[in-house]
């Protein structure tokens, strides 16, 4: 029987070494639970999304999701964020429901969020959004800068990896980290979903009044998907780096909004898929 311990779950596993031993032991798994995001404004309340996430930094996740989707555009529009206190909800489920109070006379237009009513931890909006959405929302092409050296860039994965305690215990989480142009870590968040980890970072920056992040670098474990580029552009991030490859839609967004897109950032090597201008390169003759 699995036992929940904070944001991880302890379970019994059978470890097999082919040609060697078979033994039973206790191990940890990353917790994955649904989180319902509710909005309240002008005496109205509505559920806008249910996402599968790793519990932890739930308020940042809600704030970042709402900002990335254009429901809120500034920290001042959020009055407060609280867990559910509805007595009709079972106590163990109240921490899976987050309500965001908005400083608005009524609920904003939410038609664009219909595709999000249920999202998995793995695929975000599953590519249903189009390249025109960001232009329709008025997201500008990102300005030049910052300048980053290849040496500082190569240090990002290891520096982020050193700040992943839950991954150390479970081995089953994605991470997203924010860095300054000198490679200093600003914040890191973990989650079973890549896009959730990015939303948590954006929510952190929003609540700290750090947006837009024109002078920061985003590093993500795994691949750079369309959803991650979309969220990065909304947050004003000019550079996105990934351990693995980007998708073709991610590249299209990088080209459209002048994002420096780096993939396969491992050890002393990386690929630049778009906009080498922010990385100080000395080309071989």
Overall pTM > 0.85 = yes
Domain shared by 259 and 186, yes or no: yes
Domain shared by 183 and 250, yes or no: yes
Are residues 167 and 226 in contact, defined by beta-carbon separation less than 8 angstroms? no
- The string of pLDDT tens digits covering residues 146-178 is 999 999 999 999 999 999 887 777 777 899 999
Residue 283 lies in a domain: no
Domain shared by 123 and 161, yes or no: no
Are residues 280 and 149 in contact, defined by beta-carbon separation less than 8 angstroms? yes
Residue 164 lies in a domain: yes
Domain-terminating residue out of 98, 128, 158 = 128
273: domain CATH number is 3.40.140.10
The residue-averaged pLDDT of 179-204 equals 96
Domain shared by 159 and 223, yes or no: yes
Domain shared by 93 and 172, yes or no: no
Domain shared by 209 and 265, yes or no: yes
Domain count, the chain: 2
The residue-averaged pLDDT of 232-260 equals 96
Closest to 260 in 3D by CA, of 285, 233, 235, 283: 233
Q: Which position has the higher pLDDT, 106 or 8? A: 106
| Dist CA 109 CA 98 (whole Å) | 19
Q: Hey, which residues are catalytic here? A: 123
Residue 47 lies in a domain: yes
CA 191 to each of CA 25, 27, 126, 260: distance values in angstroms, whole numbers, following the listed order: 25, 18, 18, 24
Domain shared by 199 and 158, yes or no: yes
Residue 23 lies in a domain: no
Residue 84 lies in a domain: yes
Extract the tokens encoding 203.
């929510």
Q: Structural domain of residue 192, as residue ranges?
A: 150-278
Residue 124 lies in a domain: yes
- The string of pLDDT tens digits covering residues 198-218 is 999 999 999 999 999 999 999
Say what the pLDDT of residue 161 is. Answer: 94
- The string of pLDDT tens digits covering residues 96-152 is 999 999 999 999 987 656 555 555 554 444 333 445 667 767 788 999 989 999 999
Residue 5 lies in a domain: no
113: domain CATH number is 3.10.20.10
- The string of pLDDT tens digits covering residues 253-276 is 999 999 999 999 999 999 999 999
Domain shared by 83 and 156, yes or no: no
User: Residues with Cβ < 8 Å from 210, sequence gap 6 or more?
Assistant: none
Domain shared by 104 and 165, yes or no: no
Are residues 206 and 185 in contact, defined by beta-carbon separation less than 8 angstroms? no
Residue 21 lies in a domain: no
């Amino acid at each position: 029987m699995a036992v929940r311990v904070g944001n991880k779950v302890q379970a019994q596993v059978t470890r097999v070494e082919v040609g060697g031993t078979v033994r039973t032991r206790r191990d940890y798994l990353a917790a994955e639970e649904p989180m319902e995001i509710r909005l309240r404004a002008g005496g109205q309340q509505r559920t806008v999304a249910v996402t599968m996430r790793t519990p932890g930094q739930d308020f940042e996740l809600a704030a970042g999701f709402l900002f990335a989707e254009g429901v809120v555009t500034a920290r001042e529009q959020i009055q407060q964020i609280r867990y559910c206190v509805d007595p009709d909800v079972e106590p163990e489920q109240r921490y899976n429901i987050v309500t965001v109070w908005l400083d608005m006379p009524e609920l904003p237009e939410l038609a664009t969020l219909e595709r999000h009513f249920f999202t998995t931890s793995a695929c975000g909006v599953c590519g249903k959004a189009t390249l025109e959405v960001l232009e329709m929302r008025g997201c500008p092409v990102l300005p030049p800068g910052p300048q980053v050296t290849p040496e500082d860039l190569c240090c990002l994965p290891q520096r982020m990896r050193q700040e992943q305690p839950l991954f150390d215990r479970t081995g089953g989480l994605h991470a997203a980290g924010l860095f300054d142009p000198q490679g200093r870590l600003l914040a890191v968040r973990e989650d079973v979903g890549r896009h959730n980890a990015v939303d948590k970072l954006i929510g952190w920056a929003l609540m700290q009044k750090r947006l837009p992040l024109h002078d920061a670098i985003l590093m993500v474990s795994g691949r750079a998907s369309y959803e991650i580029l979309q969220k990065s552009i909304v947050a004003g991030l000019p550079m996105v780096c990934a351990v693995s490859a980007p998708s073709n839609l991610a590249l299209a967004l990088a080209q459209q909004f002048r994002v420096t897109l780096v993939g396969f950032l491992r050890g002393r090597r990386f690929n630049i898929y778009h906009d080498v201008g922010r990385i100080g390169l000395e080309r071989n003759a």
